[in-house]
Chains A and B, each alone.
Chain A
């Protein structure tokens, strides 16, 4: 579990790539917005802190109230801040998992804004969003709207996205053509990987193999580049294996890390590569292989495992009795030994990985090949035991899954975080069902489900806080109204406390009937001129209902929304549970298949043994 947790973020990263395309995650940071308007700056800060809901709420309030502008600013300043707010809104909508709304905002911004830089960013973001949502044609047409006069890095991004779009649609010729628009030196390793794949798919195998080989040898700068390097080697290794070039596939697979997200598949493949025909020499990578550093000298690569001295004591390592083999099969046995070295490393690894499960059956198969039938039978029986044990674990995990413990643990990490679709599950709860479902959890669809579950929960909690605030305001207003209605009490109170400030003065009031000139004696315009109006009527109040009425009106809305959120939260939890359930059922099906194979093979061994 510890080892898996170590690799889980990498697995997530690589799952998000898909084998053929390097889909970028939603941008984690945004470009600095040069503004002096504090409202825009405030929204920008919220977006930067990934508080997308807060940012959207602020922007929405600002839009409702109208934009603010400095008192002495020119009109153009307001328009610019307006666009900036729209840009931030689109970013927040994207971050909060509202892609359709973000798409509309970006489209409007891309059409409207006169600022080339902002327009370019908006259209690029829109194209990426459309690509992520599977609207490939729309994405390409958005990219076509971008001006040719783009900064170099944006031009490369445009080409890269266009190529990926063609790649996922299987238009490999277009990928080759599109990536050919920019020089080889400007291609990054992801683009090289995609180009290599497209070369192979379009029949230019030599170029594809050569380029893929180079990606597999690129210098390792970080975790991501190491992952891509391993992936390129795995793809190339399996491609060569499929085309029955075991001899060339071996050193390629040996470049992969012993302990990494692809190590299990690589170890399994390496074992099979030993049992596959050597194949022909492929000149495109033969030179590379000669120039390659000796994989046996790389301490963290799989190559280190097949060093001669490690194969010597193999049967001892596997706990087998001395094996007697015919002289004529010595060479074949040596290769089987090497296959067993790789698989022996695999059998004790995380059993959730199908490569590991497969190794439980691959080892006895290889032992059979060299005639070690008794040992093969031992391994089949152990394999059967392990498979049955795993099926029992699956059944228990299914029960645990029904309690909802895993989902609650996953969702309660940083419960008030509004990171929305940028939020990732980086650490798994320590529970058996999590262990078995880790591959499912790493998929985008499951993660989005968990994110939606968290978002719904966060919204409900936020509305709960609002409800308390509104209740307090209603109580406050109600107490004022009650006091205000007690007129007699107020008059009595006033009478008691009132002191006439003029009580010592002898004042008389007289009715003045000549406040203005006598009607008809003076012209009306002279009156208006001499006695300009000092008083005017106050504006009619917008709402006679008052604040209490407004509060009472919004309270049921709050209740309804909260209830709907709770319902959706439950539905989302049920769906995630169902997905988990199906995954467990599917794993069980695979195990059943392996179990049948193992039992059948063991039975045949028994039968043959008895017959002879």
Chain B
């Protein structure tokens, strides 16, 4: 078969231009649509997808409620309400880079933990860090806290090691107690107690 005897011009050719132009114009409106699969099947798939989205949302809500109940039960067992104390730490001194925290109640160590780089950054940005939860019997307790870290210069580079510590008296009642230990800019400690108020209002709302 010889193919080199073609004349010029495009008469008699089934040019694929209509395919090209059709897709060309379509592309101006959206991305290129591919040939749709069977419409009914596509509709079924769409309905199936929507039903699944609804199921997943319902499951997420249930999982959330279950997670909350598990969290509450776990805390109720490990830290009963009557003895529970939660400690938060907040640093107003942005030049202090916390590295580890020690907490003692009546000279008994409650926790000694390192402060991760992320947690330290969080504290320097004014965040509040949950240090620990502990059990302590109601009554007057002596609290001792020590935070080891570094003092930072203006370029946020560490200049010297620093330890800030404090002692305070803690009056623990029968209700769970939250204590926020804040270190102000002059590195003075401020102890703020929080308590639960008006639980019923929340349940009713």
Q: A358-B23, A455-B60 are in contact. Are A68 and B16 (CB under 8 A)?
A: no
Q: How far is the CA of A159 from the CA of B59 in the complex (A)?
A: 36
Of B24-32, B103-111, B145-153, B158-166, the stretch lying at the interface with chain A is B24-32
B56 engages A568 (CB within 8 Å):
yes
Q: A42-B130, A61-B68, A61-B71 are in contact. Are A97 and B24 (CB under 8 A)?
A: no
Interchain nearest-CB distance for B201 vs A (Å): 8
A358 engages B20 (CB within 8 Å):
yes
A41 engages B127 (CB within 8 Å):
yes
Any A CB within 8 A of the CB of B117: no
- Output the nearest chain A residue to B27 by Cβ-Cβ distance: A265
Any A CB within 8 A of the CB of B66: yes
- Output the nearest chain B residue to A71 by Cβ-Cβ distance: B193
Interface residues of B in 51-99 (CB under 8 A from A): 52-53, 55-57, 59-74, 76-77, 88, 90
Any B CB within 8 A of the CB of A550: yes
List of A residues within 8 angstroms of B61 by Cβ: 98, 101
Q: A586-B37, A605-B13 are in contact. Are A242 and B69 (CB under 8 A)?
A: no
Any B CB within 8 A of the CB of A38: yes
Q: Interface residue count for A (Cβ, 8 Å)?
A: 106
List of B residues within 8 angstroms of A568 by Cβ: 52, 55-56, 59
Q: How far is the CA of A346 from the CA of B63 in the complex (A)?
A: 50
Q: How far is the CA of A356 from the CA of B127 in the complex (A)?
A: 52
A272 engages B24 (CB within 8 Å):
yes
Can you spell out 20 A-B residue pairs with CB atoms less than 8 angstroms apart? Answer: A45-B127, A64-B203, A70-B192, A97-B57, A98-B60, A374-B3, A377-B3, A456-B59, A459-B60, A466-B67, A469-B70, A469-B74, A470-B70, A547-B73, A550-B73, A582-B42, A597-B19, A608-B12, A609-B3, A612-B6
5 new A-B pairs (CB below 8 Å) besides A97-B60, A583-B34? A354-B34, A371-B9, A469-B70, A600-B14, A601-B15
Any B CB within 8 A of the CB of A100: yes
A38 engages B37 (CB within 8 Å):
no
- Which residues of A are interface residues toward B (Cβ below 8 A)? 15, 19, 36-39, 41-42, 45, 53, 56-57, 60-61, 63-71, 78, 96-98, 100-101, 234-235, 238-239, 241-242, 265, 268-269, 272, 325-326, 329, 353-355, 358, 361-362, 365, 368-371, 373-374, 377, 439, 445, 448-449, 452, 455-456, 459, 462-463, 466, 469-470, 473, 477, 547, 550-551, 554, 557-558, 561, 564-565, 568, 571-572, 575, 578-579, 582-583, 585-587, 589-590, 593-594, 597-598, 600-601, 604-606, 608-610, 612
A41 engages B1 (CB within 8 Å):
no
- Output the nearest chain B residue to A460 by Cβ-Cβ distance: B63
| Interface residues of chain A: helix, strand, loop or mixed (majority) | helix
B6 engages A374 (CB within 8 Å):
yes
B66 engages A561 (CB within 8 Å):
yes
List of B residues within 8 angstroms of A36 by Cβ: 192
Q: How far is the CA of A583 from the CA of B33 in the complex (A)?
A: 11
Any A CB within 8 A of the CB of B17: yes
